[in-house]
Amino acid sequence: MAETQTPEQQLEALSKQLTDLQTKSTQQEAIITELKSQLKTQGKDLADVTKERDKAVSQREQAITQRDGFKTDLATKVERIRELEGEQEANEEVIKRYEAQQKRDQLAATTGAVVVTHEGSNYRVLVPQFHFNGAVVKAADLVGDAATVAKLVESGLGVLELAA
């Protein structure tokens, strides 16, 4: 059976329970104080990390903007280089034509013959005029007639001589 306690025993038991509760309450208050301190520190840490993150994001955005600018500049420069390369090729072609014309003119001046060009090679016309494909062809007329010169070279007729 349950033992009956005297009022003094009950008071002593309640007093002990009160002391235990006060001790636990003090321990819990200490824990709460510690947790509040940690929370405050973590809040400061979070604010610092957030500032650092925001700064990094801003720097990243600036870097992206700068990179995009570089890409645009690079594309513009590449396009300009291509334009210049095209111009250079055209200029080189003009120079080749003038050099060929100069070579032809020098050959004509030194030999006294009419000189024509076919596929980059110079040919002296050996006769002042001749018959070809049923027509009379004058040597001087061949200078501007690339089609007839090509046919003459292919035919091997003997009115043209490859010039050195």
Q: How is residue 92 written in tokens?
A: 């080189």
- What is the C-alpha separation between 44 and 48, in angstroms, rounded? 6
Give Cα separations from 117 to 3, 32, 130, 150 (angstroms): 136, 103, 18, 9
- pLDDT for residue 102 is more than 90: no
Residue with tokens 């024509």: 116
DSSP-assigned states of every residue in 92-161? HHHHHHHHHHHHHHHHHHHH-SEEEEETTEEEEE-SSEEEETTEEEEGGGGGG-HHHHHHHHHHT-SSEE
- What is the C-alpha separation between 98 and 114, in angstroms, rounded? 17
- What is the C-alpha separation between 153 and 163, in angstroms, rounded? 13
pLDDT digit string (tens) for 129-156?
989 889 899 988 988 889 999 999 998 8
Mean pLDDT of 75-103: 91
Instruction: Count other C-beta atoms under 10 Å from residue 132's C-beta.
Output: 15
Q: How is residue 87 written in tokens?
A: 């111009």
Domain residue ranges in the chain: 31-112, 113-164
Annotate 22-40 with b (16+ C-beta within 10 A) or e (fewer).
Answer: eeeeeeeeeeeeeeeeeee
Mean pLDDT is lowest, of 41-45, 88-92, 109-113, for 109-113
Among residues of the chain, what percentage have pLDDT more than 70?
A: 98
**pLDDT score, position 2:** 62
pTM: 0.45
Mean pLDDT of 38-50: 89
- pLDDT for residue 103 is more than 90: no
